């Protein structure tokens, strides 16, 4: 695959790598300490935050299906969110050199808050639990599309900026995304146990999801604007500025033609990492959550079965994304090979539908679901940490954005494949 073994990216080796892109005379030699791990916590919370709006919409699907019974709510949500996000990401990739991550992320966070406010406000002043007011559905889809736009702005900017920092901050971002899924899963369990599954209970559940999302997004706005003032973030920002200035002195101002050439070089440098990420999410989205919620059933657990499987997946996804803080796989070939090996989940999960009787019981399905989450989390974290380190520091942000583009294409492709692979 044209890849060489990639060494584990520890704090020390990353500092050496980053310092090598700047002149020894001008670069500061001592990396400031991340006091109280505050920068790490901020990036974790930001990763936690940017997936929460999507999780709020999709977890409240029972409420939306009750209010709008004659439309395919979940499918419409997925298409509108994915297509808007993908289109916005393509624009960001090609014009990233003309914008600043801090602007994109702040705009995205504010748009998230506005999108999350739509549903509870509309429910309070217009819908009021009434069924069949489809004008409300179109407004909801518009709010979801706005969330897709915000997601592209925040995710691309956040992953891009984390790519300029030591790998632990990229790990924090993706551990945060997994933490978001875990929180929503436990909220779903709580609301199902505490609220009756009627119109009143579904309204309470939906409003709880969106209220939590709004609070978290407000916290994200504050924390993101605190982050640039931290000494450790300033240090790496200064390194990037030095690298950019040195490149400008050597090659001149960044023209459109040179940017297109540079973008192609970045894309070519991370292509196998991107293909790995794409494969991860084609496999995962082909199975989760559609297969788990629609194709397997339990006479014992009944409608709790899909909820518990989704929770198991999210918990193990968090475990996988947290493991890279303890051990980062050193060899990129092995990590990408692991992405291809995950294609084996297709015949294994198919066996849970049409295989021997034991395979069709709760235990094999639960074990496979946990492994799906664990491998998704670990391999995602590994590849997203390693990829930006294959390019020069001043291009690490763009490499991170390109990886997000591969990720979103994988999500969209997996959503399509989920309709066809189960026979």
140-149 per-position pLDDT tens digit: 999 999 999 9
The string of pLDDT tens digits covering residues 363-411 is 999 999 999 999 999 999 999 999 999 999 999 999 999 999 999 999 9
Confidence of residue 422 (pLDDT cuts 50, 70, 90): low
Instruction: Tell me how far apart the alpha carbons of residues 306 and 232 are, in angstroms, rounded to a whole number.
Output: 43
pTM of the full predicted structure? 0.88
Judge whether residue 13 has pLDDT over 80: no
Judge whether residue 419 has pLDDT over 90: no
Q: Is 302 left (phi over 0), alpha (psi -120 to 50) or beta?
A: left
2-10: average pLDDT: 43
Q: 364: number of CA atoms within 13 Å, CB side?
A: 17
- Asked if 227 and 35 count as a contact pair (C-beta separation under 8 A), the reply is no
- All structural domains of the chain, each given as residue ranges with its CATH number in brackets, are 11-417 (1.20.1250.20)
Q: What is the pLDDT of residue 78?
A: 80
Query: Can you read off the two tokens belonging to residue 371?
Result: 């492994």
Q: State the chain's mean pLDDT as an integer.
A: 88
Confidence of residue 26 (pLDDT cuts 50, 70, 90): very low
Judge whether residue 87 has pLDDT over 80: yes
- Encode the chain in three state secondary structure: CCCCCCCCCCHHHHHHHHHCCCCCCCCCCCCCCCHHHHHHHHHHHHHHHHHHHHHHHHHCHHHHHHHCCCCCHHHHHHHHHHHHHHHHHHHHHHHHHHCCHHHHHHHHHHHHHHHHHHHHHHHHHHHCCCCCCHHHHHHHHHHHHHHHHHHHHHHHHHHHHHHCCCHHHHHHHHHHHHHHHHHHHHHHHHHHHHCCCCHHHHHHHHHHHHHHHHHHHHHHHHHHHHHHHCHHHHHHHHHHHHHHHHHHHHHCCCCHHHHHHHHHHHHHHHHHHHHHHHHHHHHHHHHCCHHHHHCCCCCCCCCHHHHHHHHHHHHHHHHHHHHCCCCCCCCHHHHHHHHHHHHHHHHHHHHHHHCCHHHHCHHHHHHHHHHHHHHHHHHHHHHHHHHHHHCCHHHHHHHHHHHHHHHHHHHHHHHHHCCCCCC
């Amino acid at each position: 695959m044209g890849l060489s073994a990639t060494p584990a990216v520890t704090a020390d080796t990353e500092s050496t790598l980053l310092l090598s892109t700047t002149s020894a005379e001008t670069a500061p030699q001592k990396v400031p300490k991340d006091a109280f791990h505050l920068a790490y916590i901020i990036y974790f919370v930001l990763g936690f935050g940017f997936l929460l709006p999507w999780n709020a919409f999709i977890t409240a699907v029972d409420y939306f299906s009750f209010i709008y019974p004659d439309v395919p709510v979940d499918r419409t949500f997925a298409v509108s969110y994915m297509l808007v996000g993908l289109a916005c990401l393509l624009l960001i990739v090609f014009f990233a050199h003309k914008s600043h991550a801090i602007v994109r992320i702040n705009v995205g966070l504010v748009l998230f808050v506005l999108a999350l406010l739509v549903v509870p406000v509309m429910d309070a002043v217009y819908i009021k639990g009434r069924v069949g007011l489809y004008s409300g559905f179109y407004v909801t889809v518009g709010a979801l599309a706005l969330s897709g736009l915000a997601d592209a702005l925040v995710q691309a900017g956040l992953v891009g900026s984390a790519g300029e920092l030591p790998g632990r901050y990229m790990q924090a971002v993706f551990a945060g995304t997994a933490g978001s899924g875990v929180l929503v899963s436990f909220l779903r369990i709580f609301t199902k146990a505490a609220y009756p599954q009627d119109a009143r209970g579904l309204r309470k559940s939906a409003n709880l999801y969106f209220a939590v999302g709004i609070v978290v997004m407000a916290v994200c706005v504050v924390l993101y604007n605190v982050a640039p003032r931290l000494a450790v973030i300033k240090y790496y920002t200064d390194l990037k500025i030095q690298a950019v200035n040195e490149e400008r002195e050597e090659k001149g101002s960044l023209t459109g033609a040179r940017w297109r050439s540079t973008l192609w070089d970045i894309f070519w440098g991370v292509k196998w990492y991107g293909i790995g990420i794409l494969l991860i999410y084609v496999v995962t989205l082909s199975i989760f959550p559609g297969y788990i919620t629609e194709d397997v059933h339990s006479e014992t657990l009944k409608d709790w079965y899909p909820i518990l499987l989704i929770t198991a997946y999210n918990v193990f996804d968090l475990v996988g994304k947290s493991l890279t803080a303890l051990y980062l796989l050193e060899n990129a070939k092995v990590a990408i090979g692991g992405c291809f090996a995950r294609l084996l989940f297709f015949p294994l999960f198919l066996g849970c539908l049409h295989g021997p009787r034991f395979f069709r019981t709760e235990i094999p399905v639960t074990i496979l679901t946990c492994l799906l989450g664990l491998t998704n989390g670990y391999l995602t974290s590994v590849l997203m940490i390693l990829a930006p380190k294959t390019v020069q520091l001043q291009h690490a942000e763009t490499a991170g954005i390109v990886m997000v583009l591969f990720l979103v294409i994988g999500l969209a492709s997996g959503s399509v494949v989920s309709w066809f692979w189960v026979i």
